[in-house]
Structure 1
Amino acid sequence: MGSKSNERQYDLDWIRVIAILGVFLYHSSMFFNPFPWHVKNNIIESSWILVFSLFVGIWIMPIFFAISGMNTIHSLRKRSSLQFIKERLKRLGLPLLFGIFILSPPQVYIERVTNLGFSGSFLEFIPYYFDGLYLDIGGKGNFAFSGLHLWYLLVLLVFSFISLPLFKRIPVSDKLNKVHFILLPLVLFLTGILHIMSLGGWDLVFYFMTFLYGYYFFSASNFRSTLRSIYKITILVAVIATIIYIAGFPHPDFMPEYLFYGIKVLACWGWLLIIFYLADRYLAFANDFLNYTSEASMPFYVLHQPIIVFVGYTIRDFSWSIPLKLIFLVTVSFVIIMSLYHFLIRKISILRILFGLKG
């Protein structure tokens, strides 16, 4: 993860692939847990599936933004500012537009039908898709300008543009003091005061700071060596904070809300460091499986939620047990997504471009 290395960092590729699988399982759990979602099972599960959702929700989106910040360094090394902007518009903007106009309408339709907000066919719903902005699950607007789950692409696109002048002016530091491992989570904690916009469990400013950390902190040349020296206490802090957070969710009566938020920040920070430590130690290699799944990760991400929503919609009223439904939902959705990628997307140039791959 050193900033001076021009070699490809395979541990980051592994983290991205594993995180994509994590967000796939997380959205599969949303079909069963008590949180609002586009389509829900006829029986809600508030024990082990909820615990899984809370645990993954702590770190899943922050790790995406941290990796994106780290990858921005390598992208800017090879491109001018104009080339960087064009590359981001192509690799992020085109999948986002495809999601907004092709993948989002069926999901909004399913949400409206299952919540008695619409009673016609999908073709009859299409003209209504442009009625008002879709701002949140259960809202009145239909036009999903952020692409629903693809809000990450929109936010990353904005972050990339507004931070470009900063990245060009202030270079990455070669050395970082251990004190930053304490100061940086304090900064993340302070972002909770702002309440700009909550997405995926965290505020927009939280994600922006994580993106900047990926560029300036996680990419420092001595980050890995420092991380190795503190990983034991990092694991201890992450586990304790996670247990307190999950046990006290949404927040315990005996603890102020801001303090409980601080516990969540500590858990997130700890798991980010643990993930980077484990990837550096065990996943600094490449093989054919990584090459295949690394390229498949963007199409998989773009497709996963629409497929989960569709499969969930078809089985929501079945009288199956929750474990059986979960196995069916995960297995069938995974097979459909990978079949679409393997047999269509990766072989057809226009589809490759629409899903963020090189043509």
Structure 2
Amino acid sequence: MNTVASPSSLRRYDVDALRVIVFGGLIAYHLAMAYVADWGWHVKSAYQAEWLQVPMMAINRWRMPLLFLLSGLAIGLFQPARNPWRFLKDRTVRLLLPLAFGMAVIVPVQAYCQGVSNGKVAPGFVAFLADYFSFQPWPAGAFDGSDVGITWNHLWYLPYLWVYTLLLGGLLPLLESRAGRAVMARVASLAWPSKLLLLALWIWGAMMLLARDWPQANNLFADWYQHAVFFVVFLSGYAMARGGSDPDRLARARRPLLWVAVVLGAIHVAFAMAAPDGLQGVPLATLRLSRALYTAAAMLAALAWARALLNRPWRWLPYATEAVFPWYMLHQSLIVVLVFVLAPMELGPVAEPLLVLLGTVVGCGLLHHALIRRSPVLRPLFGLKPLRTPARTPAATAPTHA
């Protein structure tokens, strides 16, 4: 039976906890980007390893689709149709204000480090900032986004999520209609093999139709392959929440889902590692199908295991949930700066990444705990809600001393 629960009863600790874990994994992933061989990134260490390509590829295939799925699921649980205009206004402020602040204050140091490393920017951060905010194109290949003069780097997730949220707002009358709710309920009631196949076929179709002409770019206006995947996955999360998908039913299938994801992942990574450049025709379609199947299986397996293991009110969860946004905004700039500073010291392939990891975690933790979360000014700039003012009571307002 499908019932509409109150917002408080729809609390899903597993969704919150999985979101924290996935965002936390971004630190490890972006740290590894500096050390994985043959993968381009903003600043690369001299200590690069080919073996990192295997785990990085295995993670790369599902990490961002899962984030958009969780975003859609969380919005569905929130029930935005109760007050869509207020919801859209709140989301606009909480996404675009941190994006603007991040592009102005946090991200430029990444562009500077990359430009100096590439030999296209002269040392001197203050002089770089003066040129950076003139919004003029830089020498070709200076840094990611140098052709337009400014970059959002890892913050690209924010404008994507904002646009998808606006599109969802426009679709709410259709989705929340009788027919829309019936379709979402039907999709949500599907057994996991059917959900896996539907997601995989959509992802595969997007790759086959769009990936060649519109490859992954993290460019909001020229990223149609990723939009086709991310937006539909985002809508799928919303449909799972509003259609009454039974998370416990999915959790009961966690072991077969895990095995399916592991087997499909091994097949896809082995195929991708062995495939020659310029693959075409049936071999390319088969490689893409293996990727789509693995992506869908990994997302569903993550949801299933999170439901089984994480759906409880962990003491650390409220604090960690609040910390996600500031840590997300800060972590990559800290990684880039630390690699840029430590690389010339030749500390070795163990000490250098450990120091980068330690510095990133300590930096994010200190900045969030000691500064951002306590500041009424900084909180909205890092996507946090305003500080709550305790209610004043007669006892609280009475003088405590003469």
Q: Same fold (TM over 0.5)?
A: yes
Q: Secondary structure at the match of 1:37?
A: coil
Counterpart AA for 1:207? F
Amino acid at match of 2:125: F
In the aligned structure 2, how far is the partner of 1:293 from the partner of 1:259? 40
Which SS does the other structure have where 1:203 is aligned?
helix
Equivalent in the alignment of 2:303: 276
Q: Which residue in 2 is equivalent to 1:234? A: 257
Q: Structure with the greater relative contact order (CA < 8 A, sep ≥ 6): 1 or 2? A: 1
The 10-residue stretch of structure 1 (252-261 or 118-127) with the greater mean CA deviation from structure 2:
252-261
**Aligned pair 1:194/2:197, yes or no?**
no
Partner of 2:396: none
Moved more, 222-231 or 122-131: 222-231
C-alpha separation in 2, matches of 1:64 and 1:167:
21
Written as runs of structure 1 = structure 2, the 5 A alignment for 1:262-273 is 262-273=289-300
Distance 1:43 1:190, change over 3 A: same
8 Å contact from structure 1 (residues 36, 137) kept in 2:
no
The structure with the larger Rg is 2
CA contact (8 A) 2:76 2:241 kept: no
Structure 2 Cα separation of the partners of residues 3 and 118 of structure 1: 59
Please name the residue that 1:209 is paired with: 232
Deviation for aligned residue 1:292: 0.8
d(CA) in 2 for partners of 1:259 and 1:305?
A: 34
1:339-354 maps to which residues of 2 (within 5 A)? 339-354=366-381
1:140-289 aligned at under 5 Å gives the runs 140-141=146-147, 143-145=149-151, 147-171=152-176, 172=181, 173-175=184-186, 176-178=189-191, 179-192=194-207, 193-195=209-211, 196-199=214-217, 203-217=226-240, 220-228=243-251, 230-249=253-272, 252-253=275-276, 256-289=283-316
- Per-residue CA deviations over 1:36-71 (Å, capped at 9, x if unaligned) read 111110232111x22232122122111110011011
Equivalent position of 1:294 in the other structure: 321
Aligned equivalent of 2:43, options 36, 39, 49: 39
Match of 2:50, as an amino acid?
A: S
Q: Give how far 1:250 is off.
A: 5.0
Give the Cα separation in 2 of the matches to 1:103 and 1:344. Answer: 15
Tell me, yes or no, if the aligned pair for 1:3 and 1:220 is still in contact at 8 Å: no
215-224 or 62-71, which moves further after superposition? 215-224
CA contact 2:42–2:336 (8 Å) conserved in 1:
yes
Q: Which runs of 5+ in 2 are unaligned?
A: 387-402
1:249 partner SS: helix
Pick from 303, 306, 309: which aligns with 2:333?
Answer: 306
Give the ranges of 4+ consecutive aligned residues of structure 1 lying more than 6 Å apart after TM superposition: 133-136
Counterparts of 1:39-58 in structure 2 under 5 Å?
39-47=43-51, 49-58=52-61
Q: Is the 8 A contact 2:137 2:146 kept in 1?
A: yes
Name the aligned partner's letter for residue 170 of structure 2: P
Q: Kindly provide the amino acid, as one letter, of the partner of residue 166 in structure 2.
A: F
> Quick one: distance in 1 between partners of 2:141 and 2:378?
28
Of the structure 1 ranges 184-193 and 212-221, higher mean CA displacement relative to structure 2 is found in 212-221
Instruction: Tell me how far apart the structure 2 counterparts of residues 136 and 154 of structure 1 sit (CA, whole Å).
Output: 23
Work out the CA distance in 2 between the residues paired with 1:138 and 1:294: 30
CA separation in 2, counterparts of 1:259 and 1:3?
Answer: 41
RMSD: 2.5
Q: How far does residue 297 in structure 1 lie from its aligned partner after superposition?
A: 0.6
Give the equivalent residue in structure 1 for 2:395. none
Identity, % of aligned pairs?
A: 27
